[in-house]
Amino acid sequence: SLLYLILTPIIGFTQNNLCKADFVSQPDRSLFSEYSFIFTNTTTGQYSECLWDFGDGTSSREDNPTHIYDAAGEYKITLNIYITDSSQHVIHIDSRTKTIEVKYNLGGHFFTGIYPATEPCRAILYNVTNPLNPIGVDTVSTTSQGFFLFLQIDAGKYLILAEPLPNTNLANSYSPTYTGDVLYWNEAYINIINSNNFELDIHAVPNAGITGGTGSIGGDILDNQGHPGNNVEVLLIKDS
């Protein structure tokens, strides 16, 4: 017996219509109070419409949508791509699925006096979940309203150092200051992060009464088990 295979072309569908669905995502820095993400459609080729599934039971037909999640967590994002043939039939031709992890966002104002800083400043975030091994997580610049923002931060214990940039008027008047409005990290207030927090304000300590001069730096070298280290070379680097 013979088996005949009959191929029927889709009217209006050509090789030029073939496309590859793809997208990129990033946290939305313009929203300070939500779990907001920007999705950019990077699909190649021609298509007539798209459908996003954000993995939380919601969807969108926008080409490049912004979506706000209700909570932190992992979400599977799917972008579906369609074409419309000459008979006005909508045909699904490709899709792309990626998993994103929505984490926490942290922020606050850096005050120099009674108002937030208007000159360039920076804020440095440290993870101190393991007090024996503080980890620098991120460094950001403040806005013209003195606001600093850290995006996509894991749950844990953190402290923040805010400081004017060198060679600015503020640097002559205020010292680098930790959360809790203190000069020393071992006195800093430790923030336990398990949700968004945008009230981590820091009030800079004035330089008045703080004198410079020679000093010393010391400490203990411990391994990840908390045991003293031996024959360890220590380098002191000046960050100017």
pLDDT digits (tens, 9 = 90+) for 178-190: 999 999 988 999 9
| Block residue for tokens 């005050």 | 111
Closest CA to 112 of 183, 148, 162: 162
Q: Rounded to 5, what percent of the chain is helix, strand, coil?
A: 5, 45, 50
pLDDT value at position 84?
81
Residue 237: pLDDT band (50, 70, 90) is: confident
Sign of CA dihedral 167, 146, 163, 206: positive
What is the three-class DSSP state of 173? helix
Residue 35 has pLDDT above 80, yes or no: yes
More confident residue, 93 or 112: 112
- For the chain, the residue count is 240
- Asked if the model's pLDDT at residue 13 lies above 60, the reply is no
Of the pLDDT bands very low, low, confident and very high (cuts 50, 70, 90), residue 213 is low
pLDDT over threshold 70, residue 30: yes
Least confident of 84-88, 103-107, 129-133: 84-88
pLDDT at 5: 44
Distance CA 75, CA 54 (A): 7
Residue 112 is predicted with a pLDDT of 95
3-state secondary structure of 15: helix
Q: Is the pLDDT of residue 11 over 50?
A: no
On whether the pTM is more than 0.85, the answer is no
pLDDT band at 7 (very low <50, low <70, confident <90, very high): very low
* Mean pLDDT of the 152-166 span: 94
